A and B are shown apart, each in its own frame.
Chain A
């Protein structure tokens, strides 16, 4: 059972050090070796460096290859597709992102940030299921789940809809998009500076952003005569009137 304090510590660690991801795996010693066990009385921890776009891109490029997926009916030409070798991806992910852990196997990295071959030799010699459990939990922290994606779609359609008035109980994506977008655009406060901002200042500015947004919306409302600022361009490049708005044709 995670206490409120443990949860707060975790959240703080993520906010203040967004470059690290800590994963915990419940374990037990059975048959003489340590294996993942959800009901186990032990716990092992591993710290990974956050999977950045550059890391993901580099590993993906290194582990992808071309396969023939068919032939074109017209000329019999091969149709190729690029796919990722997910097994090799997992191996490189450990070499690139695993920083430290509670296991008694030292982890050494070279100056470029990659695990040294000697270190990987020992690290990869721990029980497969144990290291895989760490990797799986780390991957969960990177992946966007189907449920999350559906929630984003629902909230986005409300947020960006014509009659949208904001979203209640915003999900992480919407909240980050709006907060970071507004603070960066208006005050130049980026993702790294925002967690260090005095909270009252943050609250005051957020209230002001919300008030400004309300004011703009009321000015652009149907009775305000503002109307949509952009035209929807149809096939052939001609503007077509959007629903309920008449645009005189040239």
Chain B
């Protein structure tokens, strides 16, 4: 006699619940990170013998550029540090690779800069909030003294509380 198997129960569709009222109504608190929670790094430099030399402030023959970063939230901080952490088998401790961490900070937290004002090749593009490879290369082609200065100023806020 043929046995008819019971029809398996169709999986119940997952109906997303209504959004929480508190989340819908409450604005971000003054301590929460929003897209507007940014800080700006200002770079003053003058051209000398075909290279850019950093200056202390604005002045004659000095060009001023700015780079805008978003402050990182706790969760982003943990996530980026996690991505930059490796286990050192020799020392048997976890080590954060500062170069990797700096690259991740720039790729994920740098929003805009003025270096693209006269040079469209240095335009920054983001996909899902992350710098594209082309945009990262634009940062990488900056003169090392400029990029080091930007990284140092950026880390003054991220790592040394401003």
Contacts and interface: CB of A to CB of B under 8 A. Distances in A.
Interface string A112-130: 0000001000111111111
Nearest to B160: A129
Closest 10 A/B residue pairs (Cβ): A128-B77, A124-B75, A104-B29, A131-B74, A87-B82, A35-B161, A31-B39, A125-B73, A124-B74, A128-B72
Interface in A35-71: 35-37, 67-70
A126 B162 contact: no
22 contacts: A31-B157, A31-B162, A33-B37, A34-B30, A34-B31, A35-B157, A36-B161, A68-B89, A69-B89, A87-B82, A91-B75, A104-B29, A122-B29, A123-B74, A124-B75, A125-B32, A126-B31, A127-B33, A127-B74, A129-B159, A129-B161, A132-B77
A88 interface: yes
Contacts of B33: 33, 125-127
Contacts of A69: 89, 92
A88 B71 contact: no
Contacts of B28: 125
Chain A: number of interface residues, binned into ranges: 35 or more
Interface string B1-42: 000000000000000000010110000111111000101000
A135 B72 CA distance: 16
B65 interface: no
Given A35-B162, A37-B161, A67-B89, A127 B73 contact: yes
Contact of B82 (A34, A37, A88, A130): A88
Interface of B: 20, 22-23, 28-33, 37, 39, 71-78, 81-82, 85, 87, 89, 92, 94, 157-159, 161-162
